[in-house]
Each structure stands twice: as C-alpha cells, then as structure tokens.
Structure 1
Amino acid sequence: MVDGLIVALAAVDVAVALWDSGPSTSGVVTGALACAALMARRRFPLAVVLLTLPAGLLLDMLVAPFAALFTLAERSRDRRLLALCALLSALASTVPLRLLNHLTPDDRTWTVVNLFYALAAAAAPVLLGQLTQAHRDLGRRLTEVEEAREHERLLHAQAVLARERAQLAREMHDVVSHQVSLIAVQAGALQVAAQEPAARQGARTIRSLSVDTLDELRHMVTLLRASGGRATELTPQPTLADLHRLVATSGIPAELTGELPEDISPRVQRAVYRCVQEALTNVRKHAPGATATADLWHDAGAFGVTVTNTPATRPALPLPGSGQGLVGLRERAELLGGTLDADPTPAGGYQVRLSIPAGGDRTDRRGSARRSGDTGGTAGP
C-alpha cells in the first residue's frame, strides 16, 4: 500500500513537471520508467536510483529521486556509494541536457549555486535513510540485550536452584538417613530379641523397608548433589541446645561432654550438631555394641567437637550407605574455614574431629565465607 501511494505521488509529480516543461516523448518515457521502477525499490534500490537519473535530467521532479535515495540509504552501509548516488542525483536535477549547449556565464553561475541546493536536497533522503537504518539497528541491539539479560536471569535462577538442591541433599542425608538408620537398627535388634513369630516377622518387615528407604535415599541424594553449589539455609535448623536430646535418643550408649561458647553463630552450631549426628549414625551402622563420647572443646584459637567410639562388639548389619555423610561434613567445615578429620583410633575404634577457627566464626557472621571444592572421605568407621 505504501509503495502504491509513493508511485502515485511520483506519477503526479512527473505529470506536473511535464505540464510545466511541455510534453515530450523522452520526458514521458523516462518519467514513466522512473515511476515504474519505484515498485522494485526495496529489492533493487541501487538500480532504481540509476533509473531515476534520466528522468531527473529531463524533468524537474522530486518524489521519485527522493524515494529512491531514501530506500538505498536505508538498506546500504556503503557510504561512498551513497555519496556518489546523491551527487549524481544532484547533477541530474541541476544540469538538464537541453541546456548544456546554451549556458551563458550567468547561467553557469546560477547552475553552481543550484548545484549546492540540489546537493542539500539529495543529502536529505540519504541522511533520513541512514537515521532509519540506525534506529532499526538500535532496536535490534536492544532486543539482543534484553534477550541476554533474560538468559542471565535464567542462569541465575538455575544457579540458585542448584544451590538449593545441594543444600536439600545435605539436609536429607543429615536428617532423614539419621532417623531411618535408627529405625533399621532398632528393628534389627527387635528381630533378634523377639520370641513370637509374628513380632519377628513384623520387625523383619520394618527393617527391610528401612533398608529399601535408605537405598532410595542414597540415589536421591546423589542426584540432588549432582548440581552442587554454595549452601543456602533451610529452616528449622538445630542448635547446640538440641545436642543433649540427639545423644540421648541415638540408640547407642553415648555421652556428651564439654561445652562451647553460647555466642557462636547459628551456622557453626548446625555444623557441630550435624557432625555429632553423622558420627553417631555411623557408629550405629558400622560398630554395633560400641560406646561413643562427643566432646565439645574450645581454646583461644579454635573450637569444635570430637566424637570417639570404641570397637564394635558384634557384626554390623548390612545397611546401605550413601557415601555422602563425611563429604557433606567436610563441605560444612570448609565453608567456615575449618577442617574435618575422620580416622581409626589405636584401640580399634573411630574418631571424627571437627575444628573451626575462631576467625571462621567471625567470617560466617559477615556472610563472606569462601567455599572450597569437595574433598574425598570415608563413609564412617
């Protein structure tokens, strides 16, 4: 529709020019050619500009050259070509062929003056076309920037999700596997001690379901930990005040000794709690009949907990392990600038020692603890 309107305006412009200069066969032919060429100005802009030049030599027209130059400038990035086309268009409209052999000195002076005006008129559609091109490029660039920002927001959301998955995996192992392991151990003991066949069968079923649950949990924790990331905190979370209850309900002969300062940060308290929880869980799974001691300690430069157990007095039940317990504890320790050591004792037992420097507690409070990479570790005694 726009192209048709432009062609109609150009035809009117040519008709007016023919009326003023007098109809001629060459003028009609070149004017009609220039108007018809405008229909293809979007596909062949340079050819259309060249086809309007003959009509510009014979007729005093405006619409066709303007439209042709604008389209070429909008689509071409060759500035030399644009300058040449503008100059040719200005020359064609300033020096008509019919006057080349009849110019007086005064006419030549006016021709030069008119040439400057024609150059300004030819530069207008070129500059307007370049401005349109720049506006289109800017719009495209803004779209690309917005798409890049959207992609960045998506990556950030995925990173947050990955950190939450990693934290969820750690919490699932620390909380769920602890409770299910205790159920399996108690069911195994009940299966051995029960006298009635029905009670023994019920205990066997509970133990079997607990073992299957632990196995499924192992696969789920491995899947969730695959995304890895910095830890995020979930609520509710245990504190040092919950240690006495943890030790009392551990299902093994255990005691809690020592104490820690009350002003240590919540994350450090959770790390100590999880260390004791994991160590007692491993004692139940791998050292049946053993006793354990959780010793809270602190000095001028560090504080932590040491969990030591005696050797097992009976064979361990074949419970599955996720292999992520001590790995998760090491991650917690490294987030706080501390260390976790897990080694056998000379007496045949096992010892897990968590040490956190006092500076690590202050770093945790500022929220700028640096995360190190995962380190290997054993699954327990």
Structure 2
Amino acid sequence: MNRARVLWQRVPAPVVDIILVAVTAVDVWLNLWDATRTDVALAALGCAALAFRRRFPLGVFLLTLPVAVTQPVAVAPLVALFTLAERCRNRRLLAGCVALAAVASSVPWPAAFTEVGRTMTLIDFVYSLATAVVPVLFGQLLQAHRDLARRLVEIEEAREYERSLHAQAVLARERAQLAREMHDVVAHQVSLIAVRAGALQVAAGDADAKEAARTIRSLSVTTLDELRTMVTLLRASGGNATELTPQPTLADLHKLLESSGTHADLKGELPPTVGTPAQRALYRTVQEALTNARKHAPGATAHVELWQDGDDVGVTVTNSPPTRPSLSLPGSRQGLVGLRERADILHGTLESGPTAEGGYRVRLRIPLSAD
C-alpha cells in the first residue's frame, strides 16, 4: 500500500486532474442519457470545474451540485467534497456542505412530492448523507496525516537542535576546563621562566649570556601575552561573561610594529573594501614575519609594504641580515605552514625565502574580494 501511495504521489497534479475530469465526464454521460440540454450543460460545467478544485475547492463544489441534482449518485460532487475536506479546517462549513450535497442528491428531479415521493425522498436523503460523509472523512484523514507528518518533522528538528545545544555545552565545558589548565599550569610556568630569565640577565657577567637571557625573557613575555589572549578566548567560548577579544585588522598594524621589538617601518595602504578575513590574514602574516625576524635575525630592520595589484592585495615583509649572531632557538616552522593554509583558504598565495642581500622576505597575495 505504501508503495502504491508513493507511486500515486509521483503522478503530476495536472495529470490527476485530467483523469478525474475524464472519469466524471464518463459518469455523467452514462447517467444522463435522457437529460435536457440544460442538464447536460450544467453537468459539463461541474465536471470541467474539477480542474480548478485545488485553487477554489468551495467554488468547485458549488458548481458540481447540479450534477448531484440530476443523477442519484454522482462522482463529481464526491470528488469536490474530498478536495474541500482535504484543505478546509472549518468543521461547520464541511458539515453544511455534506448536508447540501445530500439534499441535492435526494431532491426528486423533476419534483414530485406525493406521499410516496416524500418517503422515498427521506430514504434517499439518509443514503445520500451517508454517501457524502465518506469523502469528507477520507479528506480529513489525509489532512490529519499531513499534519502528523509535519509535526514529526518539527519534533525531529527540535531534537536535532537540542542535540546541537548539548554538544555545544559539552564543548564549552571542555574549553573552560582547558582555559583553567592553561592559566593555572602553562601560564604559571612561563611566568617563572620570564622571572628567572630576568634575574639571569641582571646577574650574568658575560655579554652573550645577558643577550640570551634577554631573548628568553622577551620570548617568555610574548608567549605569556599570547597565552592570556588564548585563555580569554577559551573562557569566552566556554560560556563565561568574558567577551571575545576583537580580531586584529589592518588598523592594528602600527601598534604591532611598535611592540614587535624590531626596527620596522610601514609603507603603502589598502582600500577600505578589503574584507575582514583578508585583513586578518595580512595582519597575521606581518606578525609572523616580524616574530621570525626577531628570533632569527637579531638587530635586523624590517620593511612592511602594503600593496594592491589589480584585483589582488597583499603585503611584503622584508628584513635585513642580522647584525649579531642569532641564538639557536627551537622552531617548528608551523607559523609559515599556518600562513600558507590561511592563504589557500582565501584563494591566495604565500611566498617566502631568503633575499640576495642575506635577509628574508615573506610575500602574501590574496584576492581583494576574499571573504
């Protein structure tokens, strides 16, 4: 039965309407063989009106009533009643239409109100009433089935939303726990490293040792600031009242250069139409390039240039050769890898490598419309 219903639902609605009009026309043609031209015209109008039963169910039902008057059991009014019951939620209107269809089917045509005729009319009315109730019940059943299916979909969507909220709550708790661990353990250890490095810088007598201690302290302080920013973000996403830290944009480049610990200058500017993701990528590129210059090229100067080339924008960071030996610091090279991944996401390119003068250059190019 389910398979037959699925197949029937796949039939286009106009095809179904044409079939119903044809069936009711055959029904009228078989039963009105001795009718007048007026009866035939009214019956034809009622059958043709079934093509519009989906848009005007009540009007089509009223147009099919002459068919019910001229023949005992007509298919057209039953189809119209079914369509009306399938779409209407007014029970009083449906009850009135059932009574009207029963009266139209039971009224003698032509009228003959003899004593026997009245009795037969009453019997016909009861029979017609029972006949008219059947399509209404089927229509209401189909309407209830659709309402139930819609309600089940809404319940499933609500459950899916609740599952999503639960997953987000679990993730928020895990982030809050991770933030506490980073604050209580990692940040504390990095703070101790910075303090110890500062003490070593003061107590050391060798210039190289002082420089190494200064570098360790500087890196520790920078790492501590980044850890605090990460803790703030994790706590914010964990559901606490702390608000998310605004993501950096091109307007923050001057502040970045001033706090980079490297002699750097900024040239060029970009149009205000550069999207936020592109601005963030440009900022992170400059940040990573200056960090690498500070770590691997002590005493070097850096030049940051913002530029636009047609539909592309970008930034080039070039640092000069180091003026003093660099310390052997551990590095995972994940910074440049992350920048390349960010560039790929924005459909851009990242180029990096040493210069002919012994320095290093990082160049990012991304579309102006990157979003």
Place the TM-score, normalised by the shorter chain, in its bin. Answer: 0.5 to 0.7
Q: Secondary structure at the match of 2:32?
A: helix
Counterparts of 2:204 and 2:145, CA distance in 1:
85
Higher normalized contact order (CA 8 Å, seq sep 6+, divided by chain length): 1
Q: Secondary structure at the match of 2:72?
A: coil
**Partner residue of 1:152?**
162
2:135 is the alignment partner of 1:125: yes
2:17 is the alignment partner of 1:7: no
Summarize the alignment of residues 35-184 of structure 1 with structure 2, pairs less than 5 Å apart. Answer: 35-98=47-110, 100=111, 102-184=112-194
TM-score (norm 2): 0.59
Task: Structure 1: state its 5+ residue gaps.
Answer: 231-381
Deviations 1:232-265 (A, max 9, x none): xxxxxxxxxxxxxxxxxxxxxxxxxxxxxxxxxx
Q: One-letter code of the match for 1:59?
A: Q
TM-score (norm 1): 0.57
Give runs of ≥4 in structure 1 deviating > 6 Å: none
Q: Percent identity?
A: 65
Counterparts of 1:16 and 1:108, CA distance in 2:
27
Counterparts of 1:62 and 1:182, CA distance in 2:
95
Q: What's the offset of the Cα at 1:61?
A: 4.3
Deviations 1:140-174 (A, max 9, x none): 11111111111111111111111111101000111
Counterparts of 1:71 and 1:159, CA distance in 2:
48
Aligned-residue CA RMSD in angstroms?
Answer: 1.4
Q: Secondary structure at the match of 1:35?
A: helix
Which residue of 206, 212, 225 corresponds with 1:202? 212
Contact 2:53 2:80 in 1 (8 A): yes
Q: What's the offset of the Cα at 1:229?
A: 5.7
Counterparts of 2:230 and 2:47, CA distance in 1:
74
Q: One-letter code of the match for 1:113?
A: I
Contact 1:27 1:59 in 2 (8 A): no
Counterparts of 1:59 and 1:118, CA distance in 2:
11
Q: One-letter code of the match for 2:31?
A: A
Q: One-letter code of the match for 2:83?
A: T
Structure 1 residues 115 and 61, CA gap change in structure 2 (3 angstroms): closer
Counterparts of 1:199 and 1:147, CA distance in 2:
64
Summarize the alignment of residues 242-281 of structure 1 with structure 2, pairs less than 5 Å apart. Answer: none
Task: Structure 2: state its 5+ residue gaps.
Answer: 1-14, 241-371
Deviations 1:30-70 (A, max 9, x none): 11001111011111100011101112112334220111000
Counterparts of 2:239 and 2:96, CA distance in 1:
61
Deviations 1:306-339 (A, max 9, x none): xxxxxxxxxxxxxxxxxxxxxxxxxxxxxxxxxx
Which residue of 10, 29, 32 corresponds with 1:18? 32
Q: One-letter code of the match for 1:145?
A: I
Counterparts of 2:131 and 2:104, CA distance in 1:
12
Figure out how many residues of one structure are paired with residues of the other and give that number. Answer: 226
2:212 is the alignment partner of 1:212: no
Q: What's the offset of the Cα at 1:103?
A: 3.4
Structure 1 residues 60 and 114, CA gap change in structure 2 (3 angstroms): closer
The answer to which of 210-219 and 192-201 deviates more is: 192-201
Counterparts of 1:11 and 1:83, CA distance in 2:
27
Which residue of 171, 194, 199 corresponds with 1:189? 199
- Of the two, which has the highest radius of gyration? 1
**Partner residue of 1:312?**
none
